[in-house]
Amino acid sequence: MAGKQGPMPQGVVLVHGMWGVPDDWRWVRRDLERQPHLQVVAPDLPSHRLRDAGLLEDADEVRRAIEKCPAPTVVVGWSYGCDVVGIAAHAMPNVGRLVYVSSPPLKGQADVRDASWVDAMDHMLHDEHGRNALDGDWWLSEDEAGLRLPDDVRAFLKDHPRRFATKKTRSDPVPAQAWAEIPTTVLLGARDNLTGAEARAWAREAVADVRDIDTDHFMLFNRPEVIADVILEPLNPHVSNQETA
């Protein structure tokens, strides 16, 4: 990275993705926790446990986790977790950096968002409370969405079924853009067919440090060592646009 190197992070908050569990971060945590000084926290999002919680309640939960971490803390989200991070880290003085994994920043929006598109998604399941989850068989199929997962990850997913999440995760307003005020790195899978050209262009317009990683949307499972290495970089407010093969 260009410019003067800053301090090493002292805390890390890891925010899981849609339908996930905190332990989805186990491969990244394995690398992070080799650093004896580092405090690592992975909160459990309320929208995946409670019937009425959504994006804003998730952000409150993550904000409480951030408050307990030493400065400087790096806050990391994967996929939907990035939406949560963009709100939760707003105006938090101990946050030194954000890392977005497999998702561009979410633009601020004061109004409730249209989430009707969720019902039309293929392989989507719904429970009696109106919550949704992507069919567990989809995650384990090697024919879906270019999904290729290591054997240990596939075994983990069998033992940790994906959870139902509320529609408020997609419809709640977006009251903050922490990525606009805190140094941010965005990691996008070069083979991620869930992130289109328009979203990639927006990410590069919004954030100075956007890196292409040779993987798909499931970087969390397929390239955890890359994510850990990025988290452990010395904090530096003078970032440059980088691409990583």
227 vs 137, which has greater pLDDT?
Answer: 227
- Whether the pLDDT of residue 240 is over 80: the answer is no
| % the chain with pLDDT above 90 | 77
| % the chain with pLDDT above 70 | 91
Q: Confirm whether 54 is domain-assigned.
A: yes
- Whether the pLDDT of residue 244 is over 60: the answer is no
pLDDT (0 to 100) of residue 238: 45
Are 167 and 131 spatial neighbours (Cβ–Cβ below 8 Å)? yes
CA 100 → CA 62, 64, 82, 118, 178, distances in Å? 15, 19, 6, 22, 11
Residue 80 is part of a domain; what is its CATH number? Answer: 3.40.50.1820
Q: Confirm whether 134 is domain-assigned.
A: no
pLDDT (0 to 100) of residue 236: 58
- Whether the pLDDT of residue 74 is over 60: the answer is yes
Q: Confirm whether 161 is domain-assigned.
A: no
The arithmetic mean of pLDDT across residues 212-220, rounded, is 95
The arithmetic mean of pLDDT across residues 153-174, rounded, is 95
pLDDT band at 170 (very low <50, low <70, confident <90, very high): very high
pLDDT tens string 20-53:
999 999 999 999 999 999 999 999 999 999 999 9
Number of domains in the chain: 1
Q: Confirm whether 243 is domain-assigned.
A: no
Mean of per-residue pLDDT scores for the chain: 91
Q: Confirm whether 129 is domain-assigned.
A: no
In the sheet that holds 11-15, the strands lie side by side as 39-41, 11-15, 73-78, 95-101, 184-189, 209-213
Question: What distance in Å separates the CA atoms of residue 82 and residue 217, rounded to the nearest whole number?
Answer: 13
**Domain extent for 69:** 11-113+169-231
pLDDT (0 to 100) of residue 121: 82
Q: Confirm whether 132 is domain-assigned.
A: no
Q: Which residue has the tokens 């290495």?
A: 229
The arithmetic mean of pLDDT across residues 192-212, rounded, is 95
pLDDT tens string 104-136:
999 999 999 998 888 778 888 888 888 999 888
Whether the pTM exceeds 0.85: the reply is: yes
- Whether the pLDDT of residue 1 is over 60: the answer is no
168 vs 129, which has greater pLDDT?
Answer: 168
pLDDT band at 234 (very low <50, low <70, confident <90, very high): confident
Q: 3-class SS at 73? A: strand
Q: Confirm whether 122 is domain-assigned.
A: no
pLDDT band at 146 (very low <50, low <70, confident <90, very high): low
